[in-house]
Amino acid sequence: MGYLRRCLLPAVLATGLLGAGCSVKTTVEATSSTPANVADFYVTVTGLAFHPSATARASDAGWVQVTLTQPMTVDLVDPGRARPTLVAAANMPGGTYRQMRLVMAGRDDALASSATALGLTYNAQATYTDALGATYTVPVEFAVPSPSLSVATNLVLAPGSGALTSSGTTNQPTEVTLDTWFDALRHLHFVSYGTQRAGLYSAPVAAYDATTVGGIKGTVSLATLAAGVRTGAQGIVATAEQLAADGSRQVALGSATVQPDGSFLIYPLPAGSASTQYDVVIHGPGIEPIVMRAVPVVAGVPSTATIVSSAALVPVVAPTYQVNTGSISTSAAGVVTTAGSSSNYTLPAAADVDFYQTLWFSSAPYLIDSAALNPFTRQFDADWVLSAGDVQVGSYNAGGAIAFTSRSPVQGQGGYLLASRAPLRDPGLLDTRIVAPLRGQTLTVLPSPPLTASGSTRGILPVTLSQATAGRYDTGLLVVSRGGVIVDTVDLTAAFAAAGPGGRFTVGVIGLPVGTPSAPYLAAQYDIVARVWSSRAPATTLTFASLSTTLDLSSQVPTGVVLALP
């Protein structure tokens, strides 16, 4: 695969970089987790960029850029972790890099030749089956129309000594392979606008040096489970967990869908040392959660992943109940409330809701399941199904069969502690408890909001929108994102209605993480996009209007911006 590489000027290389030569061959591969009801999830990459600062903006100086002469389109539905290549052996300057950006082709960009060769209609598209069994192929959108996904990394590219040898030549470059991980399992959503459908991907992408990661694999017996349980959007999932740094709870480091043949492979997982261990939780609708403790992981390719058990894991069928957030409404000013309440809705549009249970051997609750809000609807994509049974627990047995003990969690059968997470916020407190409702009822859940991230404060960003043509649009969303990840949204439908045909109005983005002059918060760099359409003709009027520059709120109180709709 061809590429055009541009090295930074020496004056820039002197800041935070280890070497001044273009000397490390770097290959970038794609890995992902995807829902069971998604048959294909294609993305098209046109280039990459690396920077020594984790908070650098796309417009900042100091980026090392790799631009592909031919875009690369890959299918992220990759259960066997074949790891399709995005960039092959690009020469990179040696250095320490804290951020990578994947430059993607958007839905409205000209169709790339690599996408055409695969018979695609869009540069990014997905094929999925909905709850009624109907199959759709749809374009996939990102937070901004021309996406550039920020990838947090801690990559050291060391080009050997860089010294001249006795023959006057330099040492040979080292070779590094990066595994990028797209968390599509919970963060690939499907949305409707009028009669149209689309996908939405909004989740951080991770990147790891392939020599520092390993995996965990196993098999689950699915014979006793209904087909809808195995193949639905929620699916049966394996999650690798470790104790949080503060000791308060177990947190997920990686997840994978259990495939139709019962196999699963969680990869990549950081394997910092020979003693790295994870607890693995098998969870999903209609089964008692299975917890396997102290599963070791060593660095290696997927084929060398640790096998959790020589015998297939046999899930126990469990009673269930359903949960979701309440009916959400947004006022003309952008104030969000939930059904039956006059109080502001406290969860950011891009939040995850985590369901925990405390088990009898540990005071730190285990993450049993997790559901993401759809950033466009502020609800789960469908009612989430929770187990109301016991929990099976066993310890890793050197790859042999595991003996399990089945007992009720401390919260009781069907009892959970809830916490929330969201981009640019700290995890919320485990202070919301739910119990199973009466049979047949869907329980409304509303955990405490995520905590304000250290170093940030909560601000209100006023955004004024105006239409060039009166009455052209009457529906839409305001999307606030950072590095391709949605931070919050505002439904504009009520604001359009209140403004009338003139169409000029102001909404507030409430609770946005910002900094102050005395306490800067460097992560507060936002892209602002309005996604608008006419409900009379959504297929032909869907339009994206973007603020021309990234909005820097790292050290100032938001004073408002104006966004003109064409």
pLDDT digits (tens, 9 = 90+) for 499-549: 987 778 999 999 999 999 999 999 999 999 999 999 999 999 999 999 988
- Is the alpha carbon torsion for 293, 297, 302, 304 positive or negative? negative
DSSP state of 496: H
What DSSP line would sit under 132-176, residue for residue?
Answer: TS-EEEEEEE-SSSS-EEEEEEEEEE--TT--B-TTS-BPPPPEE
CA distance 289 to 307: 19
Q: What is the mean pLDDT of residues 333-351?
A: 87
CA distance 170 to 53: 28
- Weakest-pLDDT range from 47-61, 214-228, 464-478, 487-501: 47-61
CA distance 37 to 521: 39
Q: Does residue 263 surpass a pLDDT of 80?
A: yes
Best CA proximity match to 264, nearest among 29, 36, 42? 36
CA distance 543 to 531: 6
- pLDDT tens column, 6-59: 333 222 222 233 334 456 888 899 989 999 999 999 999 998 899 999 888 777
Q: What percentage of the chain has pLDDT greater than the value 70?
A: 93
Structure tokens at 316: 């126990």
Q: Does residue 279 surpass a pLDDT of 90?
A: yes
Q: Give backbone dihedrals phi and psi of 275, rounded to 5 degrees, phi first.
A: -100, 10
- Residue 228: pLDDT band by 50, 70, 90 thresholds? confident
CA distance 191 to 381: 8
CA distance 65 to 56: 14
- pLDDT tens column, 422-443: 999 999 999 999 999 988 789 9
Q: Print the SS3 string covering 1-37.
A: CCEEEECCCHHHHCCCCCCCCEEEEEEEEEEEECCCC
Residue-level pLDDT at 61? 87
Residue-level pLDDT at 172? 53
DSSP state of 383: P
Amino acid at 312: A
Q: Does residue 235 surpass a pLDDT of 70?
A: yes
Residue-level pLDDT at 451? 96
- pLDDT tens column, 91-108: 888 888 999 999 999 888
Residue 363: partners with Cβ closer than 8 Å, 6 or more residues away: none
168-176 LR contacts (CB < 8 Å, sep 24+): 170/21, 170/23, 173/23, 173/24, 173/25, 173/91, 174/23, 174/24, 174/25, 175/24, 175/25, 175/26, 175/27, 175/89, 176/24, 176/25, 176/26, 176/27, 176/92, 176/209, 176/210
Is the previous residue joined to 268 through a cis bond, with omega within 30 degrees of 0? yes
With H, G, I as helix, E, B as strand and everything else as coil, classify residue 240: strand
Question: What are residue 137's DSSP bridge partners?
Answer: 127
457-565 carries CATH number 3.30.410: no
Structure-model confidence comparison of residues 84 and 165, the more confident one: 84
- pLDDT tens column, 152-170: 888 887 765 333 334 444 4
CA distance 345 to 352: 14
Q: Does residue 248 surpass a pLDDT of 90?
A: yes
Q: What is the mean pLDDT of residues 473-490?
A: 95
- pLDDT tens column, 361-383: 999 999 999 999 999 999 999 99
Q: Does residue 249 surpass a pLDDT of 90?
A: yes
Mean predicted lDDT score pLDDT of the chain? 88
Q: Does residue 79 surpass a pLDDT of 60?
A: yes
Q: Does residue 3 surpass a pLDDT of 70?
A: no
With H, G, I as helix, E, B as strand and everything else as coil, classify residue 95: strand
Q: Does residue 297 surpass a pLDDT of 90?
A: yes
> Which segments within 158-289 are labelled E, that is strand?
175-183, 188-193, 196-201, 205-209, 213-219, 237-243, 250-257, 263-270, 277-283
Q: What is the mean pLDDT of residues 389-415?
A: 97
- Weakest-pLDDT range from 18-27, 77-86, 491-500: 18-27
With H, G, I as helix, E, B as strand and everything else as coil, classify residue 303: helix
